[in-house]
Structure 1
Amino acid sequence: MSTNTKKKRGTGAAVVIIVLCLAALGALGYVIWRQFHPAVPETAAGYVASAESTAPVYDENGELLGSLPRGSEVQYVLEDAQGDAQRIRVVNGEGYACIDRANLTDDYAAVVQVETVYALRGMSLVDETGAVPGCAVEKGMALTVTGFDGLDGQGEVLRWKVSCDRGEGYIDAANVRMTEDEAKAQYDDALYQRHAARGDAWGGGDAAGLDYYPTEKAAIPGNDMPEEVRALYLNGSAIQYADSYLRLAEGSGINAFVVDIVDGTAVSYASPVMQQYSPSAYAAAQDTMEGFRANVQKLRDAGYYVIGRITVFNDAHLAADHPEYVISDLDGTPLKISSMYWPSAYNRTVWQYKTELALEAAALGFNEIQFDYIRFPDGAYKYEKAGTIDYRNTYGESKAQAVQRFLLYAAERLHKAGYYISGDVFGECANAYVTACGQYWPAISSVVDAISGMPYPDHYSAQGDYKPWEHPYTTVYNFGESAMARQSETASPAAVRTWIQCYNAIREPYNHYGAAELGGEVRALRDAGCTGGFMTWNGASDIDKYAEVISALH
């Protein structure tokens, strides 16, 4: 064998040895490196799921670290999830935390692990948009959870999607509780017992079936309600002469106007909402939307608080367009009660129509929407006694429940849009009973921002030779005392802002109502503690009458 061949073999062996040594060193180095740089496990995206608003997380030794809001997105270790571990690692900064397997899901729709919630108050469910009112639910009713609409940053549900044997829909989280006992509990049991003792004396329902849970009064940024409203009323014709009323009001102490949007058959402007729901109302409009908006804006630009008035359940136009909505006889023929046709206060489409109209009109420049005729007809007793009336009561509600639930629905929508809501009630409503037409002061005051009684002295009956319209101060003061007693019976009372008689009495001896009489009405309200203000009722918006009495309205 040659010397060169031996050298080549020696060199080859050396190379192999070197390679093997390098490989061994590399393997050793990798092992050492791995000790300080462990392999990063493969992860996937998931969500924190829980029956509560948060879920607990632990360190790798099982010690509690804190919690994560329900719905939080996390990166979890796939190897743990695919195994049998009861806790799964999730990325926590540069390390890991652990979460119970039951609190992890790949499906965001499954993060809320609640099967049942309970209605806190009697009200209507709504559709996904919040616009369409649906079935009635009662206080304490079990609602099956079928979904949710939104979580806040703390994992709390914003709105629940629910179903019951009456239907399905959405309900705000503030209006449910997690247990039946919590939902059925009264906010103030002693106060509730006072209401519960007032049975159904006149056919409007009992007070026990109404809701008294406090409703937080709206405080809308950029929309300040005067502490005392001092308002002139303008009907749909009068608003077209806004400049004249502004000249009269200047420097007088008047700080607000009530302007008709619709008053029965009198329609102030051509509303697209009316065109959709009640074409005959649209056709009867006195002004264009643009013209009406311009006049309302004049009042706003002059610094006045402007209230838009809508009559709700007295609507001949809607009755003509949709007789199927109207209180009827047993054959379905609409009944004319007290010379009017009455869309039923039980009808959810009527609720939606009047609230959509309110929202449309409010956007034209109003601070507040005032609902009038939030009641069932007076004068229906003979039909009720004979059993010949169909109120179209789908859910078996009382009259008073329907009125309050309409206001709950409308208030929620108007408040979200940035407007206040008020409601007009009979002077009789200040008494300690549910009226035959379904008005109960504490239940209405609890919901709206301002409640407006109508204690017109000439609407009270004479007692022998005593005629209340001849004593405006005393008549209104007595009303005010009763109203304030009712205010004390709700945990979240509205402002008491009252309609005052600003027209000559319509009953003998047809007393003249001038500055002295209106001054007496205003003084009576203040003396009785009704400090939310007043509004002058004169159906004709007679500017000469206003000029005569305006000195008393400071």
Structure 2
Amino acid sequence: MSYNGLSLTTHARRVQLMSTNTKKKRGAGAAVVIIVLCLAALGALGYVIWQQFHPAVPETAAGYVASAESTAPVYDEKGELLGSLPRGSEVQYVLEDAQGDAQRIRVVNGEGYACIDRANLTDDYAAVVQVETVYALRGMSLVDETGAVPGCAVEKGMALTVTGFDGLDGQGEVLRWQVSCDRGEGYIDAANVRMTEEEALAQYDDALYQRHAARGDAWGGGDAAGLDYYPTEKAAIPGNDMPEEVRALYLNGSAIQYADSYLRLAEGSGINAFVVDIVDGTAVSYASPVMQQYSPSAYAAAQDTMEGFRANVQKLRDAGYYVIGRITVFNDAHLAADHPEYVISDLDGTPLKISSMYWPSAYNRTVWQYKTELALEAAALGFNEIQFDYIRFPDGAYKYEKAGTIDYRNTYGESKAQAVQRFLLYAAERLHKAGYYISGDVFGECANAYVTACGQYWPAISSVVDAISGMPYPDHYSAQGDYKPWEHPYTTVYNFGESAMARQSETASPAAVRTWIQCYNAIREPYNHYGAAELGDEVRALRDAGCTGGFMTWNGASDIDKYAEVISALS
């Protein structure tokens, strides 16, 4: 029994021991679970905390700032205005915002975000300019994408439908607008448009404009009210210094071939410039590739090769002279022969010979392009400046106008004076961009306070060109009884100068007044001799009248003996 008792006692102890071990194992398992749960909770808490400091980066895409203005407003995420971004700026925007209904889209701003109105965001760079209509500031011609081909006329205040744009500056301003209207399509520089019709129609100086408008259309050359008086920029061209007073000898296409002789004459005389013919009516100075393209007859009539002409022009430049290239524009028998469809004609289309000349129409944009392309080509041969002569319609056309038998080929219903000014605006834009000055020759009559019958109006021309050159040759003025103006060169030229300076005060961006002076003996009785004394009177008259831009000697033959006779008066 004792064995059995011992045996029972031992068994009980074993059972007790097993129970204790089981409890220990269960306690350890629970602890592990608790530890795991705590670690999970800590991990979750850590993740939450990490997310607070490291939020998920949303997916972004590239877009552009779009606006009707040059900039678009930018806000912080609370809706407070931060500033603005230039139109056309590239941004990274949050796709989730753009795909949702948010009215403001987040865009990357450094390490954070800013917000931009949905309307001011686009994926298409061509759509960044949200402008439908602009308005022409001045009457002018549109051009093609290259800027070389003049197109349809637009009038001041005309609405132009925006079809695109050509470039933005760093502030989001459009550089050039692509537009269309019922007359055609093309490009126009931003400086020549305004955003509202009211702004475009406003005059730069209304009191001054009213003075012009009151003059009306006295002689059929156009209403002064229809011309442009908004100032044009005439900055000095780097590396191309125009003398304050130009003192120039004129050389025709034959004379330039003897450049050395004229240089010897001019040395030490006070002469500081030369005017050299590029083309003078039918007299063509060199074989121009531009002429070959537009007017083969002119090319065939050339007096010299391009290389020979360039060499002689360069002699003048190398000697330190300011060199002006002269081109007759709307008087061209060669172009009339090659393209009669460009020429002022009768009603059957036959070119009219008026005042012994044929006249390509100043309304014709292809003529504009030809003469400006020629100017650019020639300028590159060594000229500082291009001077346009015959920037007018023919004198002597009145009888045809009265009879109704003349076709000016006036496509856009412009006045004569509008056509002249608009040609100069087009040519000046291209020449200035290429680094050359532009000047224009006008009749002495143009200094009067009216638009001339041939379409010249001093304030409208002076406002565009860098130098305006009247031609107040004393023997071109009519006698008043026994009084012959050519016998009084000082008084005649002084009276012109006073009138010219009065016109200068009527434009906000006047040109230099650089005048042609008579350097030949009078062609009317008693055929007065013009020597050093007479030319000295002309020069003194200009200076006394305030015409300080200088003078040029007109002698059609470029007579070196005459120049030698008078050169002492030209210092």
1:445-492: CA deviation from partner (whole Å, max 9, x where unpaired):
000000000000111111111111111111101110110111111111
Partners of 2:235 and 2:477 lie apart in 1 by: 34
User: How many Å apart are 1:94 and its aligned residue?
Assistant: 1.0
Which residue is equivalent to 1:418?
A: 435
Partners of 1:262 and 1:471 lie apart in 2 by: 32
Is contact 1:313–1:345 with CA below 8 Å preserved after alignment? yes
SS at match of 1:376: coil
The 10-residue stretch of structure 1 (22-31 or 539-548) with the greater mean CA deviation from structure 2 = 22-31
| C-alpha spacing 1:197/1:28, structure 2 compared with 1 (3 Å) | same
Partners of 1:273 and 1:379 lie apart in 2 by: 30
Q: 5+ unaligned residues in a row in structure 2: which ranges?
A: 1-17
Partners of 2:494 and 2:415 lie apart in 1 by: 31
Partners of 1:206 and 1:312 lie apart in 2 by: 23
User: How many Å apart are 1:407 and its aligned residue?
Assistant: 0.2
Partners of 1:489 and 1:292 lie apart in 2 by: 40
| C-alpha spacing 1:310/1:3, structure 2 compared with 1 (3 Å) | farther
User: How many Å apart are 1:2 and its aligned residue?
Assistant: 17
Partners of 1:444 and 1:168 lie apart in 2 by: 26
Is contact 1:218–1:420 with CA below 8 Å preserved after alignment? no
User: How many Å apart are 1:33 and its aligned residue?
Assistant: 1.3
Is contact 1:311–1:372 with CA below 8 Å preserved after alignment? yes
Is contact 1:218–1:449 with CA below 8 Å preserved after alignment? no
User: How many Å apart are 1:32 and its aligned residue?
Assistant: 2.3
Equivalent residues, number: 554
User: How many Å apart are 1:31 and its aligned residue?
Assistant: 2.5
SS at match of 1:66: strand
Partners of 1:277 and 1:8 lie apart in 2 by: 109
List aligned pairs for 1:225-304, cutoff 5 A: 225-304=242-321
Is contact 1:299–1:306 with CA below 8 Å preserved after alignment? yes
Q: 5+ unaligned residues in a row in structure 1: which ranges?
A: none
Partners of 2:23 and 2:210 lie apart in 1 by: 114
Match of 1:355 among 372, 375, 391: 372
SS at match of 2:153: strand
1:176-209: CA deviation from partner (whole Å, max 9, x where unpaired):
1111111101111111111001121211011000
1:375-418: CA deviation from partner (whole Å, max 9, x where unpaired):
00000000000000000000000000000000000000100111
Partners of 1:500 and 1:53 lie apart in 2 by: 51
SS at match of 2:69: coil
Partners of 1:404 and 1:187 lie apart in 2 by: 17
User: How many Å apart are 1:30 and its aligned residue?
Assistant: 2.5
Which residue is equivalent to 2:110?
A: 93
Partners of 2:110 and 2:297 lie apart in 1 by: 66
Partners of 2:498 and 2:125 lie apart in 1 by: 55
Which residue is equivalent to 1:525?
A: 542
Q: CA RMSD in A?
A: 2.1
Which residue is equivalent to 2:11?
A: none
SS at match of 1:438: coil
Partners of 2:23 and 2:165 lie apart in 1 by: 84
Report % sequence identity.
99
Partners of 2:128 and 2:332 lie apart in 1 by: 47
SS at match of 1:2: helix
Which residue is equivalent to 1:34?
A: 51
| C-alpha spacing 1:279/1:11, structure 2 compared with 1 (3 Å) | farther
1:251-305: CA deviation from partner (whole Å, max 9, x where unpaired):
0000000000000011111111111100111111111111111111111111110
Match of 1:202 among 215, 219, 239: 219
TM-score, normalised to structure 1, is 0.97
1:302-335: CA deviation from partner (whole Å, max 9, x where unpaired):
1110000000000011110000000000000100
The 10-residue stretch of structure 1 (19-28 or 284-293) with the greater mean CA deviation from structure 2 = 19-28
User: How many Å apart are 1:18 and its aligned residue?
Assistant: 8.1
The 10-residue stretch of structure 1 (200-209 or 419-428) with the greater mean CA deviation from structure 2 = 200-209
The 10-residue stretch of structure 1 (148-157 or 197-206) with the greater mean CA deviation from structure 2 = 197-206
List aligned pairs for 1:360-379, cutoff 5 A: 360-379=377-396
1:485-514: CA deviation from partner (whole Å, max 9, x where unpaired):
111111111000000000011111111100
TM-score, normalised to structure 2, is 0.94
User: How many Å apart are 1:3 and its aligned residue?
Assistant: 16
1:44-71: CA deviation from partner (whole Å, max 9, x where unpaired):
1111111111111011111111110000
SS at match of 1:91: strand
Is contact 1:218–1:415 with CA below 8 Å preserved after alignment? no
1:97-145: CA deviation from partner (whole Å, max 9, x where unpaired):
1111111111111111111111000000000100000000000111111
User: How many Å apart are 1:217 and its aligned residue?
Assistant: 1.3
Partners of 2:92 and 2:427 lie apart in 1 by: 43
| C-alpha spacing 1:15/1:243, structure 2 compared with 1 (3 Å) | farther
Any runs of at least 4 consecutive aligned residues in structure 1 with deviations exceeding 2 A, and if so which?
A: 1-32
